[in-house]
Amino acid sequence: MRGRCISVAGDKAWAMWKKVRGTRRKGCASSLADEGGYVLLEFLASFPVYIMLLASLFAVWLFFLKSYVVLLGDWELQQEMRLALERIAQDAALATRIECREPGALHIERFVKGEKCSLDYVLREGRKGLPPYISKKASGETYGYSAPQPMTGGRNVFGSLAVVEFRCEKRDGLLLLYLMGENRRTKKRVAFSTAVCLPQADR
Protein backbone atom coordinates (compact mmCIF):
# COMPACT_ATOMS: atom_id res chain seq x y z
CA MET A 1 0.00 0.00 0.00
CA ARG A 2 2.81 2.30 0.88
CA GLY A 3 4.62 1.56 -2.39
CA ARG A 4 1.50 2.34 -4.36
CA CYS A 5 1.18 5.76 -2.67
CA ILE A 6 4.78 6.58 -3.54
CA SER A 7 4.14 5.58 -7.18
CA VAL A 8 1.02 7.76 -7.40
CA ALA A 9 2.90 10.71 -5.91
CA GLY A 10 5.75 10.19 -8.38
CA ASP A 11 3.31 10.10 -11.30
CA LYS A 12 1.74 13.35 -10.17
CA ALA A 13 5.14 15.02 -9.84
CA TRP A 14 6.17 13.81 -13.31
CA ALA A 15 2.92 15.13 -14.85
CA MET A 16 3.32 18.48 -13.11
CA TRP A 17 6.96 18.77 -14.32
CA LYS A 18 5.92 18.05 -17.93
CA LYS A 19 3.18 20.65 -17.68
CA VAL A 20 5.58 23.30 -16.36
CA ARG A 21 8.13 22.43 -19.03
CA GLY A 22 5.53 22.68 -21.79
CA THR A 23 4.41 26.05 -20.50
CA ARG A 24 8.01 27.32 -20.51
CA ARG A 25 8.56 26.11 -24.08
CA LYS A 26 5.40 27.83 -25.25
CA GLY A 27 6.46 31.01 -23.48
CA CYS A 28 9.93 30.94 -25.11
CA ALA A 29 8.46 30.22 -28.54
CA SER A 30 5.95 33.05 -28.23
CA SER A 31 8.64 35.49 -27.05
CA LEU A 32 10.88 34.53 -29.97
CA ALA A 33 7.98 34.97 -32.37
CA ASP A 34 7.33 38.42 -30.92
CA GLU A 35 11.02 39.42 -31.41
CA GLY A 36 11.32 38.01 -34.93
CA GLY A 37 10.62 41.37 -36.57
CA TYR A 38 13.49 43.11 -34.75
CA VAL A 39 16.33 41.03 -36.28
CA LEU A 40 16.39 43.00 -39.53
CA LEU A 41 16.28 46.32 -37.67
CA GLU A 42 19.17 45.25 -35.43
CA PHE A 43 21.21 44.19 -38.47
CA LEU A 44 20.57 47.48 -40.26
CA ALA A 45 21.50 49.42 -37.16
CA SER A 46 24.75 47.50 -36.56
CA PHE A 47 25.87 47.29 -40.21
CA PRO A 48 27.34 50.85 -40.35
CA VAL A 49 29.20 50.14 -37.12
CA TYR A 50 30.76 47.01 -38.66
CA ILE A 51 31.72 48.97 -41.79
CA MET A 52 33.40 51.69 -39.73
CA LEU A 53 35.26 49.08 -37.69
CA LEU A 54 36.53 47.30 -40.80
CA ALA A 55 37.57 50.61 -42.38
CA SER A 56 39.47 51.55 -39.23
CA LEU A 57 41.27 48.21 -39.16
CA PHE A 58 42.17 48.55 -42.85
CA ALA A 59 43.53 52.07 -42.28
CA VAL A 60 45.66 50.86 -39.37
CA TRP A 61 46.96 47.98 -41.50
CA LEU A 62 47.90 50.38 -44.32
CA PHE A 63 49.69 52.65 -41.85
CA PHE A 64 51.79 49.81 -40.45
CA LEU A 65 52.52 48.51 -43.97
CA LYS A 66 53.74 51.94 -45.09
CA SER A 67 55.87 52.30 -41.96
CA TYR A 68 57.37 48.86 -42.59
CA VAL A 69 58.28 49.74 -46.21
CA VAL A 70 59.85 53.03 -45.08
CA LEU A 71 61.84 51.23 -42.41
CA LEU A 72 63.12 48.66 -44.90
CA GLY A 73 64.11 51.41 -47.35
CA ASP A 74 66.13 53.28 -44.73
CA TRP A 75 67.71 50.04 -43.54
CA GLU A 76 68.73 49.13 -47.10
CA LEU A 77 70.22 52.60 -47.61
CA GLN A 78 72.30 52.22 -44.47
CA GLN A 79 73.51 48.75 -45.41
CA GLU A 80 74.35 49.70 -48.99
CA MET A 81 76.41 52.76 -48.04
CA ARG A 82 78.21 50.91 -45.27
CA LEU A 83 79.11 47.91 -47.44
CA ALA A 84 80.28 50.14 -50.30
CA LEU A 85 82.59 52.11 -48.03
CA GLU A 86 83.92 48.91 -46.45
CA ARG A 87 84.73 47.52 -49.91
CA ILE A 88 86.59 50.68 -50.91
CA ALA A 89 88.52 50.65 -47.61
CA GLN A 90 89.50 47.00 -48.08
CA ASP A 91 90.90 47.68 -51.54
CA ALA A 92 92.73 50.76 -50.26
CA ALA A 93 94.27 48.80 -47.38
CA LEU A 94 95.90 46.40 -49.88
CA ALA A 95 97.04 49.11 -52.28
CA THR A 96 100.61 49.80 -53.36
CA ARG A 97 99.70 53.28 -54.58
CA ILE A 98 96.68 55.56 -53.98
CA GLU A 99 95.76 58.72 -55.81
CA CYS A 100 92.88 61.10 -55.05
CA ARG A 101 92.31 62.60 -58.47
CA GLU A 102 89.34 64.74 -57.40
CA PRO A 103 86.95 64.82 -54.42
CA GLY A 104 84.68 62.20 -55.99
CA ALA A 105 87.30 59.94 -57.63
CA LEU A 106 89.77 57.50 -56.11
CA HIS A 107 92.49 55.61 -58.00
CA ILE A 108 94.02 52.51 -56.38
CA GLU A 109 96.88 50.36 -57.65
CA ARG A 110 97.45 46.91 -56.19
CA PHE A 111 98.65 43.43 -57.06
CA VAL A 112 96.21 40.53 -57.40
CA LYS A 113 97.97 37.12 -57.48
CA GLY A 114 101.13 38.74 -58.78
CA GLU A 115 99.38 40.77 -61.47
CA LYS A 116 99.26 44.55 -61.32
CA CYS A 117 95.69 45.84 -61.28
CA SER A 118 94.15 49.28 -60.85
CA LEU A 119 90.76 50.20 -59.39
CA ASP A 120 88.88 53.42 -59.98
CA TYR A 121 86.00 54.45 -57.72
CA VAL A 122 84.08 57.42 -59.12
CA LEU A 123 80.91 59.25 -58.13
CA ARG A 124 78.79 59.41 -61.30
CA GLU A 125 75.51 61.03 -62.24
CA GLY A 126 72.72 58.59 -63.04
CA ARG A 127 71.27 58.41 -66.54
CA LYS A 128 67.61 58.62 -67.51
CA GLY A 129 66.49 59.93 -64.15
CA LEU A 130 68.49 57.44 -62.07
CA PRO A 131 70.16 58.81 -58.92
CA PRO A 132 73.94 59.38 -58.58
CA TYR A 133 75.95 56.28 -57.72
CA ILE A 134 79.46 54.97 -57.03
CA SER A 135 81.01 53.05 -59.90
CA LYS A 136 83.97 50.70 -59.82
CA LYS A 137 86.26 49.92 -62.76
CA ALA A 138 89.03 47.35 -62.59
CA SER A 139 91.88 47.46 -65.10
CA GLY A 140 94.13 44.47 -65.65
CA GLU A 141 94.73 41.64 -68.10
CA THR A 142 93.01 38.90 -66.09
CA TYR A 143 90.96 40.63 -63.39
CA GLY A 144 89.89 43.76 -65.26
CA TYR A 145 86.67 44.56 -67.07
CA SER A 146 85.91 47.16 -69.70
CA ALA A 147 82.88 49.05 -68.36
CA PRO A 148 82.50 50.54 -64.87
CA GLN A 149 80.14 48.59 -62.63
CA PRO A 150 77.71 50.36 -60.25
CA MET A 151 78.22 49.65 -56.55
CA THR A 152 75.45 51.79 -55.08
CA GLY A 153 72.27 53.59 -56.01
CA GLY A 154 69.34 52.59 -58.16
CA ARG A 155 65.62 52.13 -57.70
CA ASN A 156 63.78 49.35 -55.93
CA VAL A 157 60.50 48.75 -54.14
CA PHE A 158 61.82 50.43 -51.00
CA GLY A 159 62.99 53.71 -52.49
CA SER A 160 65.43 55.53 -54.74
CA LEU A 161 68.90 55.31 -53.20
CA ALA A 162 71.29 58.09 -54.20
CA VAL A 163 74.88 58.89 -53.28
CA VAL A 164 74.93 62.51 -52.19
CA GLU A 165 78.64 62.90 -51.50
CA PHE A 166 81.87 60.89 -51.85
CA ARG A 167 85.19 62.31 -50.67
CA CYS A 168 88.71 60.98 -50.35
CA GLU A 169 91.64 62.88 -48.86
CA LYS A 170 95.22 62.13 -47.88
CA ARG A 171 96.21 63.50 -44.50
CA ASP A 172 98.94 62.62 -41.99
CA GLY A 173 99.71 59.25 -43.58
CA LEU A 174 96.03 58.29 -43.73
CA LEU A 175 93.45 58.04 -46.48
CA LEU A 176 90.22 59.58 -45.21
CA LEU A 177 87.06 58.27 -46.88
CA TYR A 178 83.59 59.79 -46.54
CA LEU A 179 80.37 58.56 -48.11
CA MET A 180 76.85 59.97 -47.72
CA GLY A 181 73.69 58.48 -49.20
CA GLU A 182 70.05 59.49 -49.35
CA ASN A 183 66.75 57.67 -49.71
CA ARG A 184 64.91 59.98 -52.08
CA ARG A 185 61.53 58.59 -51.07
CA THR A 186 61.90 59.28 -47.34
CA LYS A 187 64.54 62.06 -47.63
CA LYS A 188 66.62 60.31 -44.98
CA ARG A 189 70.40 60.59 -45.20
CA VAL A 190 73.13 58.44 -43.70
CA ALA A 191 76.88 59.13 -43.69
CA PHE A 192 79.85 56.87 -43.01
CA SER A 193 83.53 57.68 -42.75
CA THR A 194 86.67 55.68 -42.18
CA ALA A 195 90.44 55.99 -42.39
CA VAL A 196 93.02 53.66 -43.95
CA CYS A 197 96.80 53.79 -43.63
CA LEU A 198 98.43 54.94 -46.84
CA PRO A 199 100.98 52.73 -48.61
CA GLN A 200 104.60 53.47 -47.79
CA ALA A 201 105.13 55.06 -51.21
CA ASP A 202 102.38 57.66 -50.62
CA ARG A 203 103.37 58.77 -47.14
Summarised one tens digit per residue, pLDDT across range 26-79 is 555 455 455 555 676 777 778 888 889 999 999 999 888 888 878 888 888 899
Residue 198's beta-bridge partner residues?
none
State the pLDDT confidence band at 116, using cuts at 50, 70 and 90. Answer: confident
Q: What is the pLDDT of residues 139-191, one digit of tens each?
A: 887 777 777 888 887 666 666 888 999 999 998 899 999 999 998 888 889 99
**pLDDT at residue 166 in the model:** 94
Q: Which of the residue ranges 18-22, 77-81, 184-188, 195-199 would you say has the lowest mean pLDDT?
A: 18-22
Comparing CA positions, the residue from 74, 55, 79, 191 lying closest to residue 66 is 74
Tell whether pTM > 0.85: no
Q: Region 3-27: what's the mean pLDDT?
A: 54
Q: How far is CA 102 from the centre of its chain?
A: 35
d(C-alpha 13, C-alpha 1), whole Å: 19
Contact 140, 193 (CB under 8 A): no
Q: Which of the residue ranges 93-107, 116-130, 137-151 would you say has the lowest mean pLDDT?
A: 137-151
Q: How many CB atoms lie within 10 A of CB 130?
A: 15
d(C-alpha 111, C-alpha 100), whole Å: 19
